[in-house]
Structure formats: C-alpha cells, structure tokens
Structure 1
C-alpha cells in the first residue's frame, strides 16, 4: 500500500516549564512542548519531550505511534483504559537522552476527527499513515533533533504503521522499534484471537466440541465474506462475535478493509538494508502472540535489517506489563528499549 507525501506545517509551539531538578549548569533543562501540525486539513495535537541537553546539541529522536482503536498520545483510551503506555515509553527514552514526539491520532484527544468529522466512514488506514508521516516530518524539523538519527517506535497497530513509514519517509529512519506488533493481516489476527477465545470457552464447558467447530467455521467464513465484500452471515455466531463482524461492515468497513490489505512481512522488503529493528513479543500477550511475528521476523532477516531483531519477553502481556509490574513496563521490556536506544 502506498501513500502520498504530506508536507507537515507546524502551526504553533508552546514551551513548558522545565523541572528545576533537571536544570544543571551548562544544560538546557528538559521540557515538554505542545506541538500542533496539519495533516490532510486536520490540526493534530502532540507532545514533544526534549530531554536536558547542551545548547545547540542535536539529539537522537523517536516518533511514538499508538495501538489500534481510539488510543491517544499517551497510549490511553479514557476513561476506562489508561495504561499510559506511550507516556511511559517517552519517559524511558528521555532517560537515554532521546527526544520524543507523540500525538493524538484521528478520533482521540484534542485532535478528534478533524476533517472527517462529518463523514467518519471515509476515514481509512492510509489516512492514519499519512498523519504519522506528517508527525515524522515535524520531529525531523525540530531545532533540537538530529534528522539523521531518527527512529520510529510503534506499539501494536502503531508498529505496523512504523514499518510502513520505515520504507517511505525521508530521511529514512535509522531504526524501528516494533513493540508487540500487528505482524499479520488484521482479519487473520482477529480470527486467531476469536478462535483462541472460543477454545478457552470450550475448555470451560461453555461450548461443546461440535459447537466450537461450528463457531470456528462461521468465523472463518465471515473473514472470507468481508474480504470478498459480501454480507456476513452471522448465523451460529455468539452475539458478541456477530456484533463485531456487523461493526466491521458498518462505518468502520473502509478502515478494516484498508488495514487488512497490509501484510507486514511484505512491507519489510521496503526497508533500507541495515535499518536497525527491535521487535518485541511477550509470552503472555494474548492479543499478539509471539507466533504471529514469525513471518515478519523472517522477512526482516531476509531484508537485511540490522539487530537486535526479535526479543521475546517472558511473562509480558500486550501492554508491556508482567505480573510484578501491572501498571508500568516490565523490566525486560525497558531493558530491550534501552539497549535499542543505546545503539
């Protein structure tokens, strides 16, 4: 899938007050700035974090991209889901002297639907990619950032977007961090998740083996129907699953179809050889199991991407948490990120 080059225009910058403890002699203190830029006619709002640095110093910098759904610049879907995933990643990278930009994508935070307010059904996945490309250009053009030392860090669906940017933006990023990435086609991933949930329900005695096979078959048939742009027959599907596929045929159909068109292992072939890539997967991640990253891991190797490659995180879930750290990134996830930044 291709997308057109989009020139990003910075509309305004507002400096935040630095933390006094970080204002050491000879250093510009760390600060957050509110950044506003235009993407496809929509004012997009974000936060640029600049760590403490010497005056005039050009810093390594990372664009942070959120996961699927209405996930805002901090990695939250308020009011119910507020893990602060991207805000915590920004904080971790800040300790490595890496500047970061994160933003409210379409449908979230201060950005909202923007130009799509009156026709949200027209919002497709390429629009989100163009918005991320515009953000990359904004980060590239900041006075504190080194345009030749840029990386893109994406979580879940954002990792797939990072992969797409890696082969198209200019200058090409020096590295990509793909955190618990969407590494196969969207509907294949959804079907895999549904099969796992039905299997667990069958183990708990809520479905007979015959019912499990029927639901699995109906799920696979629904995926085929969506890809062939035919009405989905929801007969025999549990109510929640039927509602999910009905939603895929409604206002979200254009987005689902365009997202499902991307096969990340093919996208990996567009990367510049030697691009450093970190790919993490958690053994407790039921949304993106490690096995779903196998083909992408192989494709990255064949594309001659640089290391560290895939890093398996024992006991870590989709939000980068483990049992001992239910509200913050697990030490193994932070260690992988710090090693990537240090390189």
Structure 2
C-alpha cells in the first residue's frame, strides 16, 4: 500500500497554442487504495491557483481520460480537464479501483459497490487537499459518476459542491428499462429484463440460468452486488438532501441520459443551477444535425473538442 497521502511523478507541460509558456502541467498522482495504489492525473493551471475539482468517471471500464475498450475513444475527461485548466481550474481525473492504473487497488474490478467508490472519493479528497492546499474540492461526476458524487456528498466533508454532468435523475433500474425499450430489437427481452431488475431492486440476486442469453452480460453474477447497490439509490432523493452548491449540466442530444433526468434533479433541489447545452451529447461533444449515426461517431473521435459552452459553464460556476 502507498504510505504517503499522494505521490507525484514526472510532469508533462501543455503549451499554449502560440508556443509560449506552458498553460498547464499534467502530473501523474497516486493515493492509497485498499490493497494498492489508486492512480490519476492532476492538471494544474500555470499559476496553480483557483478551484480544484475531482472528475469522477462514468460506468463500466471507463478510464481517467473518458475512454473505454468498448469503443469509446472520445477522451472527454482529458479534454474537459484541459479546457478547465485554461480557465484557471485544477482537476484530478482518476482510474477506478481495479482498473487501468488503479488495477492493483483490488484484485477484481467487478467486486465493488457504490459505497466502495464513495470510500475512494473520500481518500482522493483528503489526498488532493493535502497536495494542493485547497480548503475543499468540487466533485465533477459524469453519467454514473454523478450518482457516485451525490452519494459521496452525503458522507464525506471538505466538498465545495457538485457538478453533475449527464447524470441520471431517476433510479438506474428505471434508466436501464427505458434504454432497453428504446431499441425495438429488444422487445423479446423486455419482460425478462424487467423481472431481473425488479428482483435486484429488492436486494435479491438473479439466477442467470433463467435469463435469455443476450441479457447475461448485463446481469452477470460478478456484477450483481454492484447492481444491487446502484439500483438502491434514487439520484433525486440524494440531490434533495445535498446541502451544497449544485450545477446540473445536460446535453440536449444525449442519447443515454435525458433532459428529463436533469429536470428531475432540479425539481428535487430547487437551489441547484440547471444548464442545458442543446447540441451536446453524452460524451460532451457538439453534434450537428439529428443523425444517430453522427452522434455515435463522436464517441470515437478524440480530436473533436468537448463543447466549449460546457467548459465555460463549469469553470464559471466553480470559480464563483
């Protein structure tokens, strides 16, 4: 286990576009994990001043840059961090326990619950505050990371506030049911999926031998403890009990999380600030037109910048 709170290794300078002095410095960082190190990247602005934020990744095998081996190469978190650094906001983006640079933290990345992720967020908050001297950290949670952020806000201190980006506003069981129904090809699977989700919501595991084969990856026995922990949470209820500044950022062309979700979070916490970016999608890229194929094409394009409006909205909010 890593003994010190946070370890810095070699830094990489990111230059201004005109080739002048570095605009920000990327530094690999580590914090103590359960059995080995948790790993991430800190990106500080040139003066190292201003607010500090922790970027919490979404579901599945999503790495600190916002990519995953299932075809997502949009680099959304890296690009967001670079945009925020240019506007004076320091960020740390992280690999989840058991994955990528944090692979030594636990032997099985699937053997986790939301509570485990909340524990890791608490460790990161303490470690980053020690390194930066920040009095508190902002939590920027993307997609399922928004749910983790909301859960963390109930349990840990030293949090300035929450930025919920493309975050679900309904229980995840409801979200998955709707996603399955959105594809007509899933019609023969809906009844079985609904029954499995309802059973997991009740806290009971599902016997996978009773499920149609296409549903086996979704309800794998290795994932069911995690699914039970996720399905038990209602993001809107958590938002209602979060006594912190909250910014909700939602793309109008998000195919995975809807404006309805953002509105539900806003209704639950009327003091929250809600910003809709009409042309942004789930990976924070601007999408011209309404083509679903064009929307998904942005998921594989790291050269396409994140929507500038999203960066500015977040930077302005946390700087206030």
State whether TM-score is above 0.5: yes
The offset of 1:268, in angstroms, is: 1.8
TM value normalised by structure 2: 0.83
| SS of residue matched to 2:134 | strand
Aligned counterpart for 1:335 among listed residues 312, 315, 318: 312
**Quick check: 1:30–1:50 contact (8 Å CA) kept in 2?**
yes
Q: Is the 8 A contact 1:222 1:245 kept in 2?
A: no
1:280 to 2:249 alignment? yes
Separation in 2, partners of 1:287, 1:194: 11
Distance 1:14 1:196, change over 3 A: same
Q: What does 1:169-318 align with in structure 2 at a 5 Å threshold?
A: 169-171=156-158, 173-198=159-184, 201=185, 212=187, 215-228=189-202, 229=204, 231=206, 239-240=213-214, 242-247=215-220, 250-272=221-243, 275-301=244-270, 305=271, 307=272, 309-318=273-282
User: Which segments of 5 or more consecutive residues in structure 1 lack a partner in the other structure?
Assistant: 1-6, 202-206
1:48 is the counterpart of 2:34: no
* Inter-CA distance 98–225: structure 2 relative to 1 (3 Å threshold): same
SS in 2 for 1:110: helix
Distance 1:63 1:216, change over 3 A: same
Report how far residue 15 of structure 1 moved: 4.0
CA distance in 2, matches of 1:234, 1:79: 25
1:66 to 45, 57, 64: 57
Q: Are the counterparts in 1 of residues 12 and 27 from structure 2 also a CA contact under 8 Å? A: no
Instruction: Indicate if the aligned counterparts of 2:53 and 2:90 stay in contact, CA closer than 8 A.
Output: yes
Query: How has the CA–CA distance of structure 1 residues 320 and 30 changed in structure 2, closer, same or farther, with 3 Å as cutoff?
Result: closer
Q: String of CA shifts for 1:290-327, please: whole Å, max 9, x gaps.
A: 112333211111xxx4x5x2212213211112224943
SS at match of 2:131: coil
What's 1:96 paired with? Answer: 87
Q: Which runs of 5+ in 2 are unaligned?
A: 289-294, 299-303
The aligned counterpart of 2:291 is: none
> In 1, distance between residues paired with 2:60 and 2:122?
19
What is the deviation of 1:29?
7.0
TM-score normalised to the size of structure 1?
0.78
Given that 2:49 and 2:88 are in contact with CA atoms closer than 8 Å, whether structure 1 keeps it comes out as no
Closer, same or farther in 2 for the Cα pair 1:155/1:236, shift >3 Å? closer
- Distance (Å, rounded) in 1 between the aligned partners of 2:173 and 2:3: 32
2:125 pairs with one of 119, 123, 136? 136
RMSD over aligned CA atoms reads 2.8
- 8 Å contact 2:114–2:148 — kept in the other structure? no
User: What CA distance in whole angstroms lies between the structure 2 residues aligned with 1:157 and 1:268?
Assistant: 14
The alignment partner of 1:168 has SS state of: coil
